[in-house]
C-alpha cells in the first residue's frame, strides 16, 4: 500500500479544507449578517456577491485559461455548501454561474469561452440558464421557443420561465428549437443571449416561497437577432448539451441542500442548549437528542453522497447521471426533513422570522424542485439501473 492509501478517498485534501475555511469566514462575516434582510426585502444579495468576487468564490469553476481559479467540482460544491449554510439565496450566485456557463465549457468554441467566461471570472457579470418554459418544465423536449436562421443570423422568439437571477445576469444560455420538423429532442440548439440584445426583456419578479433574494423572472424574446457565432456547439446538439450540463450541476444543488440542512442543525443545536424547560436544558431530553442525532446522521450521509458525485463529475465518470440525480434527490429530501425538524425543536420561536430556521425551511423546498423534480431524479436513476448500470 502506498503512502496515499485508499482511506484518503474519505478525507478532504488540505486544499479543500482551506477552501472551506476561507469561504466559511466570508460567509460568517460578509453574508450571514444580511441574510434575513435579503429575504425580507426580496433584494439581490449584492453584499454577498461583492464578498464572493473579492474572494474569487463567485464562479470558482471557471478554468484558469479564461481568468478563473479553476476550482474542481468538489471545491465548487464546498463553496456553495458553506454559503448556503447561512444564506441559500447567496449560494445561488456561484451555483447559477456554473449552471449558466457550463454549456460553454462543455461545448462552446474557444472564442465564445474567452468572450464570456473571462468577464464572468472577473466578477463583472453573472450567468443564467434558460431551459424551462411554461408548458415545458420536466418535459423539456416540448419547448416552444424557436430560433430561425435568416442569413448569418438567428431570430429568437418565445419565452423561458423560472429563470434564476434573471435581470441581474448579463449573459444567458438559452435553448431553442431550430428545426421544427426535426426529431424531437434532436432539433434543439443552445445560444448565448446578452441582456443588451434588442428584443430581449424580462417578466415581473415571481413572488416565491423561498430563496427570495435571488430574482426569478421570465425571459421574453421578441425577434431577438443573434449572430451565428453565438451558437454553443452545433445546431441540434442543444438537448445533449443541456442534459450533460444538468448531470454536473445537479451535484451543486445537492451541495446547496446540504448547506441549508447544516445551517438549520447549527441553529437548532445552539437553541436547545440554552433553552430551559421543566428545570433543564431542552438538549437534555432524550427525545431531543434522538432528533439531533437523526438530523446529523442524515446530513452526513447526504454530504458524503454529494462529495462522491462531485468526484465523479470531475472525472466525467460514466455513472455520473445516476450519482448526480441521487445526490440532488437525497440531499434535498434531507434538507426538507431537517429544516422541518429544526423548526419543531425551536417550537413557537421556530415558526417566527426571529430565527433563521423558518427561512431555511422555505428555502429548502425549492431544492426538491429545480433542475428536475425529485420524481424526475428517481426516473433518471431507475433508467440507469434498468439499462444495466450499477449504483
What positions carry a catalytic annotation? Answer: 371
Q: Name the residue among 81, 68, 164 with its Cα closest to residue 120.
A: 68
DSSP string, 72-94: -HHHHHHHHHHHHTT-HHHHHHH
Q: In whole angstroms, how far apart are CA 181 and each of 33, 159, 186, 226?
A: 53, 20, 10, 21
Q: Is 130 helix (H, G, I), strand (E, B) or coil?
A: strand
Percent helix, strand and coil across the chain, each to the nearest 5: 55, 15, 30
Alpha-carbon gap, residue 62 to 119, rounded angstroms: 11
DSSP string, 372-388: S-HHHHHHHHHHHHHTT
Alpha-carbon gap, residue 114 to 321, rounded angstroms: 28
Q: Name the residue among 373, 368, 20 with its Cα closest to residue 211.
A: 368
- φ and ψ of 221, to 5 deg: -120, 120
Q: In whole angstroms, how far apart are CA 161 and each of 113, 175, 215?
A: 25, 12, 12
Q: Is 168 helix (H, G, I), strand (E, B) or coil?
A: coil
Contacts 24+ apart (CB under 8 A), 16-19: 16/74, 16/75, 16/78, 19/71, 19/75, 19/78, 19/79
Q: Name the residue among 353, 335, 362 with its Cα closest to residue 37.
A: 353
Q: In whole angstroms, how far apart are CA 156 and each of 160, 161, 219?
A: 12, 15, 11
Q: In whole angstroms, how far apart are CA 305 and each of 77, 126, 232, 262?
A: 12, 28, 31, 15
Amino acid at each position: 500500500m502506498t503512502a496515499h492509501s485508499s482511506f484518503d478517498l474519505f478525507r478532504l485534501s488540505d486544499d479543500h479544507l482551506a477552501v472551506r475555511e476561507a469561504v466559511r469566514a466570508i460567509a460568517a462575516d460578509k453574508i450571514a449578517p444580511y441574510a434575513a434582510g435579503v429575504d425580507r426585502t426580496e433584494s439581490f444579495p449584492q453584499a454577498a456577491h461583492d464578498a464572493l468576487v473579492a474572494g474569487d468564490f463567485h464562479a470558482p469553476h471557471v478554468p484558469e485559461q479564461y481568468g478563473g481559479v479553476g476550482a474542481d467540482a468538489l471545491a465548487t460544491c464546498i463553496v456553495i455548501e458553506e454559503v448556503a449554510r447561512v444564506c441559500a439565496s447567496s449560494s445561488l450566485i456561484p451555483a447559477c454561474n456554473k449552471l449558466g456557463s457550463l454549456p460553454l465549457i462543455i461545448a462552446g468554441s474557444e472564442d465564445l469561452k474567452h468572450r464570456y467566461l473571462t468577464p464572468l471570472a472577473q466578477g463583472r457579470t453573472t450567468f443564467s440558464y434558460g431551459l424551462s418554459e411554461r408548458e415545458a418544465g420536466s418535459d423539456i423536449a416540448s419547448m416552444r421557443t424557436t430560433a430561425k436562421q435568416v442569413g448569418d443570423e438567428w431570430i429568437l422568439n418565445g419565452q423561458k420561465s423560472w429563470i434564476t437571477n434573471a435581470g441581474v445576469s448579463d449573459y444567458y444560455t438559452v435553448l431553442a428549437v431550430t428545426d421544427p420538423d426535426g426529431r424531437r429532442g434532436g432539433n434543439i440548439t443552445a445560444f448565448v443571449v446578452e441582456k443588451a440584445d434588442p428584443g430581449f426583456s424580462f417578466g415581473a419578479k415571481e413572488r416565491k416561497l423561498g430563496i427570495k433574494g435571488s430574482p426569478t423572472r421570465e425571459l421574453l424574446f421578441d425577434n431577438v437577432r443573434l449572430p451565428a457565432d453565438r451558437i454553443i456547439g452545433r445546431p441540434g446538439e442543444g438537448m445533449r448539451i443541456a442534459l450533460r450540463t444538468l448531470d454536473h450541476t445537479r451535484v451543486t444543488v445537492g451541495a446547496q441542500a446540504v448547506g441549508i440542512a447544516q445551517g438549520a442543525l447549527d441553529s437548532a443545536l445552539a437553541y436547545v442548549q440554552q433553552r430551559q424547560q421543566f428545570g433543564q436544558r431542552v438538549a437534555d431530553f432524550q427525545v431531543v437528542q434522538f432528533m439531533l442525532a437523526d438530523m446529523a446522521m442524515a446530513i452526513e450521509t447526504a454530504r458524503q453522497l454529494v462529495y462522491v458525485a462531485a468526484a465523479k463529475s470531475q472525472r466525467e465518470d460514466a455513472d455520473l447521471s445516476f450519482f448526480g440525480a441521487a445526490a440532488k434527490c437525497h440531499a434535498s429530501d434531507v434538507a426538507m426533513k431537517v429544516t422541518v425538524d429544526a423548526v419543531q425543536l425551536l417550537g413557537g420561536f421556530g415558526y417566527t422570522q426571529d430565527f433563521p430556521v423558518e427561512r431555511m425551511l422555505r428555502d429548502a423546498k425549492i431544492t426538491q424542485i429545480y433542475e428536475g423534480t425529485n420524481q424526475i431524479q428517481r426516473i433518471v436513476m431507475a433508467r440507469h439501473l434498468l439499462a444495466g448500470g450499477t449504483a
